[in-house]
Amino acid sequence: MGGNRQPCARRGYVAAAAECVVLAGVALLPGFALAHGAHAGDAGIAGGFMAGALHPLGGLDHLLAMVAVGIWGAFLGAPLIWVLPVAFPLIMVVGGILGVAELPLPYVETGIALSVLALGLAIALAWRAPRGLALALVGAFAVFHGYAHGAELPAAAQPAAYAAGFVIVTGLLHLAGIGIGYLAGSRRGTVALRTVGAGIAVAGVWILLGQPGLA
């Protein structure tokens, strides 16, 4: 029975992931619609949306941290499997508002690099942190990520469209992380996840050192 259940569950997650993509597709509608809109400057809105959507994918630090939050949440199990990815954006918006208001926040880039390193280590070491501590850690990192996004918003050509783009894609990255995190259900999967976590931690060190060898 157990053997039958797993493929069904996998099909369920694949279908659910496909529905998430449809959901995001609906949310992406303004981008496409505006590209052919009748309003002046609409192409700029579509461009702003796409710039925002591509931003979390273009920056390795944001991408790894978002996926790592989802993986670690899945690793820690209920209720943190959903509490961490839900708490992240809610606390991130505080940092975002600080960034939009152009209030100073020191060591933002360092904080973001540290978030990649710490989350990678937490996965690699299979650290079962207490709920409060896990939440506090992820919340602190969320403020740095939010600030970085928020500080870029006023400079964006179309801030609202930019915000919509990065919010949607970041949410999808969290869900991707949770999806990957379901591998923790098996022994081999746990080993694979811990290896991925070690890779993320190494990337965190590389980002912390200023990404040597890239330029």
Footprint of another protein (CB under 8 A): 12-13, 15-17, 19-20, 22-23, 26-27, 29-30, 33-34, 37, 39, 42, 49, 81-82, 85-90, 92-93, 96-97, 100-101, 150, 153-154, 158-161, 163-164, 167-168, 170-171, 174-175, 178
Cβ closest to another protein, residue 20 vs residue 208: 20
Cβ closest to another protein, residue 39 vs residue 187: 39
Please write down the HEC assignment for all residues of the chain: CHHHHHHHHHHHHHHHHHHHHHHHHHHHHHHHHHHCCCCCCHHHHHHHHHHHHHHHHHCHHHHHHHHHHHHHHHHHCCCHHHHHHHHHHHHHHHHHHHHHCCCCCCCHHHHHHHHHHHHHHHHHCCCCCCHHHHHHHHHHHHHHHHHHHHHHCCCCCCHHHHHHHHHHHHHHHHHHHHHHHHHHHCHHHHHHHHHHHHHHHHHHHHHHCCCCCCC
Cβ closest to another protein, residue 115 vs residue 170: 170
Cβ closest to another protein, residue 180 vs residue 207: 180
Cβ closest to another protein, residue 101 vs residue 209: 101
